[in-house]
Structure 1
Amino acid sequence: MQIQWLGHSAFKVTATGAQVLFDPFLNGNPSFSGNYEELIAGTTHVLLTHAHNDHWGDTVDILRKTGALLISSPEICDYIEMNHEGLRVHAMNMGGTRRFGDIAVSVVRAVHSSSYNTADGQIIYGGTPMGLILKAEGKSVYHMGDTDIFSDMALVEELHHPEIGLVPIGDNFTMGPQIAALAVNRYFDFRTVIPCHYATFPLLEQSAEGFKSLVQKGRVEAIAPMETIEI
């Protein structure tokens, strides 16, 4: 399995039988420097944790160009079905797990909000924000989405045992470095931790070094935007 950080909370996961994009905010993302058309080519699934524009990003364009399947909340899927004919969506909600060919996806809580601002100024309710766990090649990747710490993270660990954590550390809109490190140390047994949702905008934490110094469990891979690691 390969995991590529595309900046902010966007990730590309390449595994047997699937090419998955999490929260594909690419165009307009100051940290994204790849070739957009080349990067999205071959995408099979888009996993969207919530509707905020810095996560929704290029979702509709990617679905249209690749034929990928969107997996997200019922509200987001319904909105896309009603406004973009012919795109493939699959709605899920808290506690659900479903297999899609060579991958499986589980939905867990996130403590945040969810809405989408359209180009004409509408604010669209995006349902409940979620964390998404991708299982492929016998491995599990937990994208926390945007979230604060919450004690039921202990249940996420007990039920799903995720090995790789994609953890927001940017503060202001999500956990900051200290609280994110507490979440990792107290609730999880991650083998690999990849921090995200930082350094994109001035309001956010600009470095992962503080987070990295506080994590006591697992290996922190503070990779650069566009960098790929093999898991």
Structure 2
Amino acid sequence: MRITWYGHSAFKLEFGEVGILLDPFITGSGYRGDMNEVTRGVTHILLTHGHGDHVGDTVQIAKQTGATLVSSFEVVSWLNGQGVEKVEPMNTGGSIQLPGFTVTLVQAFHSSGELVNGVFAQLGHPNGIIVEAPGQPTVYHLGDTGLFSDMKLIQELYQPKIGFVPIGDRFTMGARTAAYAVNNFLDLETVVPCHYATFGLLAPNADDFIRQVTKAKTKIVVPEKGVAFEA
């Protein structure tokens, strides 16, 4: 599996004929690369929740690529109304089989919505996302979340090997709680910290998180934006 981080919580997964963008907040994340490289080969867009710093460039990318959007019923209905044609609605706890992989939405402790004409519109529940594919390591994108002990149950059920873990604090777990999750509730081989350094309100780097992760088997990868790595 080829993985690319574009800053904030935006990732691309590539394997076989599949190209998945997760939470593609690209143009606002500080990424300065070629958007054509980001969108090349994209078949699906997966969104954890409806905040603007996760929905990001979804509408533009979906229209350009014809990618299928997968998210909660409320989020896909909202974006379908903005011109995203191919949608797969889901909700927390459900799984769907797509060409080449399976998506499961799991719980996250956060919120989900967007300002519409000055009023905050609720857009369903926030989620984490599990991506399972034959012959590939299972990926768990935690989305935006606080710490919760049922992360251990998610680990037992789906056995993810790769985790995208928010560490920025204030709006999600910070270094202390994110490291606690990795050390005590998850059994990941590779962790990529995310949701930090994008805005001044977030942790400026991953240093505190890295220092507090003590599980020997877990490798922490802090990639450069737009530079892919294999997992």
TM above 0.5, one fold?
Answer: yes
Q: C-alpha distance in 1, partners of 2:79/2:24?
A: 15
Matched, 1:125 2:122: yes
Which residue of structure 2 lines up, in the alignment, with residue 111 of structure 1? Answer: 109
Q: C-alpha distance in 2, partners of 1:193/1:85?
A: 34
User: RMSD in angstroms over aligned alpha carbons?
Assistant: 1.3
**After the TM superposition, which of the residue ranges 135-144 and 192-201 deviates more from structure 2?**
135-144
Displacement of 1:86: 5.9
Displacement of 1:16: 1.1
Which residue of structure 2 lines up, in the alignment, with residue 7 of structure 1? Answer: 7
> AA paired with 2:131?
L
Which residue of structure 2 lines up, in the alignment, with residue 154 of structure 1? Answer: 152
Superposition pairs of residues 14-93 of structure 1, within 5 angstroms: 14-30=14-30, 32-81=31-80, 83-85=81-83, 87-93=85-91
Q: Residues 6-65 of structure 1, C-alpha deviation per residue, up to 9 Å, x if partnerless?
A: 0000001111120000000012222x1211133213210000001110001011111111
Q: Check the 8 A contact 2:63/2:83 in 1, yes or no.
A: no
Distance 1:62 1:163, change over 3 A: same
Alignment counterpart, residue 134 of structure 1, candidates 115, 131, 137: 131
Q: Check the 8 A contact 2:69/2:84 in 1, yes or no.
A: no
Secondary structure of 2:191 counterpart: strand
Q: Check the 8 A contact 1:164/1:190 in 2, yes or no.
A: yes
Q: Check the 8 A contact 1:164/1:192 in 2, yes or no.
A: yes
Q: Check the 8 A contact 2:144/2:172 in 1, yes or no.
A: yes
> Structure 2: any 5+ residue segments left out of the alignment?
none
Q: TM-score, normalised by structure 2?
A: 0.95
> AA paired with 2:78?
Y
Q: C-alpha distance in 2, partners of 1:219/1:17?
A: 27
Aligned residues, how many? 228
Q: Residues 176-197 of structure 1, C-alpha deviation per residue, up to 9 Å, x if partnerless?
A: 0011000111111100000000
> AA paired with 1:55?
H
Which residue of structure 2 lines up, in the alignment, with residue 98 of structure 1? Answer: 96
> AA paired with 1:27?
T
Q: C-alpha distance in 2, partners of 1:65/1:200?
A: 26
Q: Which runs of 4+ in 1 moved over 6 A?
A: none
Secondary structure of 1:21 counterpart: strand
Q: TM-score, normalised by structure 1?
A: 0.95
> AA paired with 1:70?
L
Q: C-alpha distance in 2, partners of 1:205/1:196?
A: 10
> Structure 1: any 5+ residue segments left out of the alignment?
none
Displacement of 1:122: 4.7
**After the TM superposition, which of the residue ranges 52-61 and 221-230 deviates more from structure 2?**
221-230
Secondary structure of 1:105 counterpart: strand
Displacement of 1:224: 2.1
Q: Check the 8 A contact 2:168/2:194 in 1, yes or no.
A: yes
Superposition pairs of residues 201-216 of structure 1, within 5 angstroms: 201-216=199-214
Q: C-alpha distance in 2, partners of 1:138/1:193?
A: 16
